[in-house]
Structure 1
Amino acid sequence: MSLDVARIRSAYPALAEGFVQFDGAGGTQPAEPVIAAIAGAMRTAVSNRGSAHEPARRSGEIVAAARSAVADLVGGVPEGVAFGPSATALTYLVARTLSRGWGPGDEVVVSRLDHDANVRPWVQVAEAAGASVRWAEADLATGELPVEQYRELVGPRTRLVAVTAASNAIGTVPAVREIADVAHAAGAQVYVDGVHATAHRPTDVAALGADFYVTSAYKWSGPHYAAVVADPAVWEPLHPAKLVPSPAGAPDRFEFGTLSFELLAGITAAVDFLAGLSGADGSRRGRLLASMTAAADYESRLAAQLLTGLSALDGVTVLPAGGDRCPTISFRVDGQDPAETARRLGEQGICVSHGDYYAAEYFEAAGLRATGGAVRASLYHYNTADEVDRLLEALK
């Protein structure tokens, strides 16, 4: 099933400004239904959740709808969806809560391919608990994250393995299920950073073997809000520090303060928008799978076009990312600081990122962080082949 890209692009008001938006990994533009849903929620009477009056009931309905939407998006259940201001904040929350039971001799395994939001929280809580940190290395020649090393890194004292579902720096898609199987065989839990992957391919947390899966809505056409998803049975024994009168049940006890009802309305609208990308029929979950599969196919073709074009340019070096990748490509123009490349592209209306994009460990290992990292072009389903050509011409 193909995408009507012209129709899709018309749903993104920001694209009318004419900029080429190649910074999806840093945040996508919001779709019009998302903007309308947020504004609608703010124009409607809502209050803290409760049952005494209609505004209180409305806010409860907004929360329930958003939990159901995210569950459909990633293949979880609504009762396992906890919301928070960002993936970083939620990961710190889960890390602090899980590590209460850790001590000397325990181990956590993190990856040098990951965004620092799925590295530093685990390193810091492990150090505080006296636990050890073990590092999975990216293969710098291929951009892959070899599974074999996990069989040596994971042992009987491993408490948690943190791994990304897709690199926000170079697009690599690790074999998360195989890594999770190694972790589970040793009795460890698996925390998967799905912030980059969720925007680009169908997601099934059970198929991935994720005990926890975190995602951010602003990476898939929604507002700046995030969710971490787990089976309710995984949440049940965990008890974070919280206010005494705040809800005691899960997932509510992991959500501090009053939730942003308007942003949750936007999340539901974003999921519904994604479900309609391909025009498929059926349940929302079924439509999401069809739409995200179609989007992945389309983005893959754009990425292939960009990679072919970049490889034909003298003086451009592409960072390798393995065979299975999201449409996110990092490169350097020989002899030019990545910040300068990004600035000169920006002067031509082409929006890319530069630096280490918070994938600090990867760029440090690659020896590129001290010299400015790289330039990142991250494609999304609203990009076009003409925009790819525009980038290539600008690089020439």
Structure 2
Amino acid sequence: MQLSLDVARIRGQYTSLAGQWTYLNAHEVPQIPEPVSSAVARAFRDQAVAQPLEPNVGTHARGVDPGTLFAQEHLAAARLAIADLTGTTADAVMLGPSEAELLAQLQVAMRQQLRRGNAVLDAPRSASGVLGAGEYAQLIDAATRLTVVPAADAETGIIHEVASIAEATRSRSRAWVLVQVSAMLGVRPVTFEALGADVVLLSARGLGGGELAALAFRDRAMLTRINAEAFGQQVSPALAAGAAAAVDHLAGLADSSGAARGTRRTRISQSVDAAASYLGGLSTYLMDTLRPKVEFLGFGSEAAREADRIPVVSFRLPGVPVETVYQRLVGHALLPGRSAEGITVGLGVYNTPSDVDQLARVLGSLA
């Protein structure tokens, strides 16, 4: 059964929406839900005022640091939450301060394998704007050990053909396929089953969960093939608490009654489906509303026009400099993203058709 989102209820969990700003930059800076802020604050408080739960007596109690116990609990909760999000087990999840740091640690961990082969660490250019097996075919050979694939383009919204890339990789080599999924967290499934990936790399920031990243392996056995000690997992326990809370928030999006049943994995799947449906409709409304006024980017080929997309669009206003458009929008309390090529609008579950209408009115004043 397809569940729907109670957007008014969801918006109530974002205190930042009470101000004057309309946030249209969910692709860059998703707003932080109150449950996440509260979880981080509680975790910092735990560290600051932690006291032993029992008198520190007896041989086994000596040296016990309650702050360390709290930290371990938060880190364990984050690993389990990411495991539920991606479809693996908690012991196959590595935490780190950033995606770049985790990717660097993975290369160190795979140093022996990479010494004998090659790693494809940057997505190739695609004339169509859609990455598929064809773009990777000439780069992958029997010596390839790691293929890194972005799941979606954060500016055009195009979802790349990850499953076909993974299949092509395995037909030509024994390489692992690592998929970077932060751009489509919460709006598309990021499970190993859906992606066909071996490793998933993400930032909790994509869920409004703060600056913590995770590297999830399809199964724990993969870690026995590399130097797992290369992963330092030096992360803030408080941010780990925020990441776990962000996954819980996602799992509850489609639960308007607060009495959802089923595992967290099941509830995540239901909420992602509901979010994809809602934001797909809102994206269509956005494009239909703006089409008479703007030139959309990333639709130059037939493959791009037919591609599935996350709720992100980029556009230019003909004859008006990008900076002028951006400053006009900001002057009217609208906050989109921007690049040298155009204005980017990323929609979140807290956005509404009225946000789109407001955007259209301001752009109309420039046309």
TM-score (normalised: structure 2): 0.86
Instruction: Give the Å deviation of 1:224.
Output: 1.5
Q: Distance in 1 between matches of 2:321 and 2:110?
A: 41
Within 5 Å, give how 1:198-213 maps onto structure 2: 198-213=185-200
1:12–1:32 CA contact under 8 A, matched in 2: yes
Q: 1:108 aligned to 109, 116, 119, which one?
A: 119
Q: Distance in 1 between matches of 2:101 and 2:68?
A: 27
Task: Say yes or no: does 1:305 pair with 2:289.
Answer: no
The superposition leaves residues 29-87 of structure 1 with CA deviations (integer Å, 9 ceiling, x where unpaired) of: 1110111111111112478xx98244332221111111111111121210111111111
1:66 corresponds to which residue? 78
1:38–1:262 CA contact under 8 A, matched in 2: yes
1:364 corresponds to which residue? none
1:139–1:145 CA contact under 8 A, matched in 2: no
Instruction: Give the Å deviation of 1:304.
Output: 0.6
Within 5 Å, give how 1:34-113 maps onto structure 2: 34-45=36-47, 52-103=64-115, 106-109=117-120
Task: Say yes or no: does 1:286 pair with 2:266.
Answer: yes
2:317 corresponds to which residue? 333
Change (3 A) 1:20 1:89: same
Q: 1:262 aligned to 223, 238, 249, which one?
A: 238
Change (3 A) 1:151 1:59: same
Number of residues of Structure 1 aligned to a counterpart in Structure 2? 339
SS in 1 for 2:328: helix
- In angstroms, what is the RMSD of aligned CA positions? 2.1
Q: 1:178 aligned to 164, 174, 192, which one?
A: 164
SS in 2 for 1:24: coil
The superposition leaves residues 170-222 of structure 1 with CA deviations (integer Å, 9 ceiling, x where unpaired) of: 11111211111111222111111111112322221233122221111111121
2:335 corresponds to which residue? 351
Change (3 A) 1:40 1:103: closer
Within 5 Å, give how 1:210-249 maps onto structure 2: 210-230=197-217, 231-239=219-227, 248=229
Q: Percent identity?
A: 32
2:127 corresponds to which residue? 139
SS in 2 for 1:145: coil
1:75–1:205 CA contact under 8 A, matched in 2: yes
The superposition leaves residues 79-136 of structure 1 with CA deviations (integer Å, 9 ceiling, x where unpaired) of: 11111111122122223432443348x43335xxxxxxxx3xxxxxxxxxxxxxxx63
2:136–2:165 CA contact under 8 A, matched in 1: yes
SS in 2 for 1:66: helix
2:148 corresponds to which residue? 162
Q: Distance in 2 between matches of 1:61 and 1:37?
A: 13
Task: Say yes or no: does 1:192 pair with 2:179.
Answer: yes
Q: 1:377 aligned to 330, 335, 345, which one?
A: 345
| Stretch of structure 1 that moved more, 331-340 or 184-193 | 331-340
Q: Distance in 1 between matches of 2:243 and 2:65?
A: 24
Q: Distance in 1 between matches of 2:11 and 2:318?
A: 34
Q: Which amino acid aligns with 1:176?
A: V
Q: Return 5+ residue gaps in structure 2 as ranges.
A: 51-60
1:12 corresponds to which residue? 14
Q: Which amino acid aligns with 1:338?
A: V
Flag the structure with larger Rg: 2
SS in 2 for 1:148: helix
2:332–2:362 CA contact under 8 A, matched in 1: yes
Q: Return 5+ residue gaps in structure 1 as ranges.
A: 111-118, 120-134, 241-247, 356-371
Change (3 A) 1:235 1:337: farther
Q: Distance in 2 between matches of 1:221 and 1:95?
A: 27
Instruction: Give the Å deviation of 1:331.
Output: 0.9
Within 5 Å, give how 1:117-136 maps onto structure 2: 119=122, 136=124
Instruction: Give the Å deviation of 1:270.
Output: 1.0
| Stretch of structure 1 that moved more, 20-29 or 148-157 | 148-157
SS in 1 for 2:316: strand
1:139–1:146 CA contact under 8 A, matched in 2: no
1:69–1:271 CA contact under 8 A, matched in 2: yes
